[in-house]
Amino acid sequence: MNADRPLLEVNALKKHFPIHGGLLGQVTAKVYAVDGVTFDIRRGETLSLVGESGCGKSTVGKAILRLFSLTEGEVYLDGERIDNMRAGKLRMMRKRVQVVFQDPFSSLNPRMRVRDILAEPLVNFGMVHGRRDLNEKVEALMDKVRLPRDAINRFPHEFSGGQRQRIGIARALAPGADLIICDEAVSALDVSVKAQIINLLADLQDELGLALLFISHDLATVEHLTHRVAVMYLGKIVELTDRRTLFAESHHPYTRALLSAVPVPDPTARRQRVILKGDVPSPINPPTGCRFHTRCPFVFDRCRVEEPLLRPVGDGHLSACHLNQVPGGQVLPTAA
């Protein structure tokens, strides 16, 4: 293990889904779900992947989990490439990378008691020695996610949505994961419950040194949990920076539009709302040049023909927009 190297590295990841048609079922088109995404996550860090529905953020999470093969790109876990890993070694990778899904009810077996749901990964990965050891570890998992031990024999339908998500988190913790991918893990919960789950994840991260890939469409949610934010649009990352910089000095017009829609606690505060025109283009036929140019209020000719690269615009701040640079590489001033 190299302490200086990120825990997870994703390099130029692409996932294109073929569309079959015709009498012979030949490939007639492709869905460019993810089209060249690069980022890393360090131990104990939370990186949030945000964007509108259909931007490809959940596909990125599933690709890291090896739920399907990649079209192109590389994924490294602790310096070891995992996107082409054989089945035997892949089993141990899955022990280190776990997932918490959006709908806690559909992700839990309704015919299994909580005891069996939490015991399953412990047994599968050979982490227990005897019934007593198993019971102690299952009870410890219940304590970690702040569920009463006497609920251990209940079925998933006997819990509330927030409690079911705690069970999902406990199951992800069971094999001793280093990285947990939270795929819209709080979007189906009420506001108060959502805050409790976010606080739980933050406490677990401090206690266990977990790394989190937090996938969400809600910037207001990620503001309270994340260290860095990667904003996605139509299969590409358009801005990546730390939380403070993103909310104070975002560069990309799409990021600013998302931020303008975030509710503010002060009802007297004024904010200029950015209304994006039109709909998100189809990932089957993405626009040429900048993929955001069909909706961008600052579009000019270069945007329609040349794709902007994700370039540095500050210390650790990357943005993919032609507006951020002028000839000579000078960064343009950001809007207030």
pLDDT tens profile 280-326: 899 999 999 999 999 998 889 999 999 999 999 988 899 999 987 64
> Rounded distance, CA 165 to CA 201, Å?
11
100 part of a folded domain: no
Give percent above pLDDT 70 in the chain.
Answer: 93
Residue 267's pLDDT is 58
Structural domain boundaries, residue 325? 227-336
Residue 334's pLDDT is what? 42
| Token reading at 74 | 């590389």
Residue 270 domain-assigned? yes
Q: 317 lies in a domain?
A: yes
Please check the confidence at residue 192 and state whether its pLDDT lies above 90.
no
- Whether 237 maps to a domain, the answer reads yes
Number of domains in the chain: 1
Per-residue pLDDT of 38-72, as tens digits, reads: 999 999 999 999 998 889 999 999 999 999 999 99
Cβ atoms of residues 46 and 242 within 8 Å: no
Task: Indicate yes or no: pTM above 0.95.
Answer: no
Specify if 314 maps to a domain: yes
For residue range 90-124, list pLDDT tens digits in order.
888 889 999 998 887 888 999 999 999 999 999 99
The span from the CA of 248 to the CA of 272, in Å, is 14
Give yes or no for a contact between 260 and 271, defined as CB atoms under 8 angstroms apart.
Answer: yes
Q: How far is Cα 89 from Cα 86, in angstroms, rounded to an integer?
A: 6
- Please report whether residue 291 resides in a domain: yes
